[in-house]
Amino acid sequence: MNSQDQITIYQSTDGSVRLEVTLDQDTVWLTQRQLSSLFDKDVRTINEHIHNVLAEQELAAGATIRKFRIVQQEGERKVNREIEHYNLDMIISVGYRVNSKKGTQFRIWASNILKRYLVQGYALNEQKLHTQQQKLVDLKQAIALSSRLFQQKDLTASESQGILSILEQYSHALTVLDDYDHQRLQVTGIQQAGQRRISYDEAIQQIRLWREQEKLGGLFGNEKDDSFKSSLETIYQTFGGTELYPSIEEKSANLLYFIVKNHSFSDGNKRIAAALFVWFLARHDYLLNADGEKRIADNALVAFTLLIAESKPEEKDTMVKVIINLINGNNP
């Protein structure tokens, strides 16, 4: 087991002892060498006391001894080794046997540290659970909106399949509560690195290029007002020096929503919105996932563009959240 995840520093009041203490499974763990430093006894004495604790069945080895992989200096080399560690129960038992006041001091410190970590861990899990419960609400709203679109529109087979694909990709939120109960919950970060600002002139030039390539006619991409320029400026908006949409996912999702809803062009609003969404992700090298597949399939993007067009203003947050989670497929 890797011990690099939870490490805290213990230092005795007189400064004579300083240890890197491993925290895992609601307790602290020390090696024999660390116990030797803590109690100011040689390793052979510590080993003898541990042997006696186990032989007298005061404690069970399975509950008090674990191996953690650590990096240690051996001569001029740093070597990875699995080293036996002993939990707080064993540390206290050995401390009593060597009659060490330092053991009492360490026990008090460890108890306070464990209480603090338990409180912090509880608060973090509560926050994660709240986030995932909100995603369940978002999923229900997405399903309701999809149902409404099915009833109101004559959809092609591809568009229908796209909506089903959206719901399938997003439905992993339904497993979140079970994952939480079984300590499998993982939440990954959104992508903030490697961004470049897309200018209005670049975007308009790209739209004109599509119009020429596809021979789409003069009305395609013809701006009715300044709302398209406003949409681009909005995704880079800041407040107090902080971006309102700091990640690639948030910028692209809001750009898709704004272009669809603002009807900035005389013709081709939904097609332009979907194409610029793909173009924006591609410009940030974020269009494809690690397997080389599009983060959102073409038919799913078409279907979701329709969902946005039919959505109500109060459903904006739901639309944007679903897009973000579809882009960032690792995020439950």
Taking Cα atoms as reference points, which of 18, 52, 20 lies closest to residue 37?
18
Residue 132 is predicted with a pLDDT of: 56
Q: What is the dihedral of CA 275, 232, 320, 191, to 10 degrees?
A: 90
By the 8 A CB rule, do 257 and 316 touch? yes
Domain boundaries defined on the chain: 7-99, 129-327
Tens-level pLDDT at each residue, the chain (332 residues): 444 447 777 777 777 777 888 877 778 888 999 888 888 889 999 999 999 999 999 888 888 899 888 776 777 777 788 889 998 888 888 888 887 677 777 877 877 776 666 545 444 445 555 555 565 556 555 555 554 554 555 545 555 454 445 444 444 433 433 443 334 433 344 555 557 888 999 999 999 988 888 788 888 889 999 999 999 999 999 888 888 998 899 999 999 999 999 999 998 888 889 889 989 998 888 888 888 888 887 777 777 787 788 888 888 887 888 788 778 764 44
- Token digits of residue 108: 């008090």
What are the pLDDT digits (tens) for 5-17? 477 777 777 777 7
Fold of 129-327: Fic-like fold (1.10.3290)
Residue 136 is predicted with a pLDDT of: 54
Task: Specify the pTM.
Answer: 0.48
* Helical spans, DSSP H, in 215-315: 227-235, 248-262, 269-283, 298-310
Residue 235 is predicted with a pLDDT of: 94
As a whole number of angstroms, the distance between CA 69 and CA 25 comes to 16
CA angle 23, 27, 30 (to 5 degrees): 65
As a whole number of angstroms, the distance between CA 37 and CA 91 comes to 12
Residue 293 is predicted with a pLDDT of: 82
Q: What is the dihedral of CA 270, 275, 277, 279, to 10 degrees?
A: -160
Residue 153 is predicted with a pLDDT of: 52
- Token digits of residue 244: 């309102």
CA angle 294, 331, 250 (to 5 degrees): 70
Residue 225 is predicted with a pLDDT of: 93
What are the pLDDT digits (tens) for 240-261? 888 899 889 999 999 999 999 9
As a whole number of angstroms, the distance between CA 150 and CA 147 comes to 5
CB atoms within 10 A of CB 250: 21
By the 8 A CB rule, do 73 and 17 touch? no
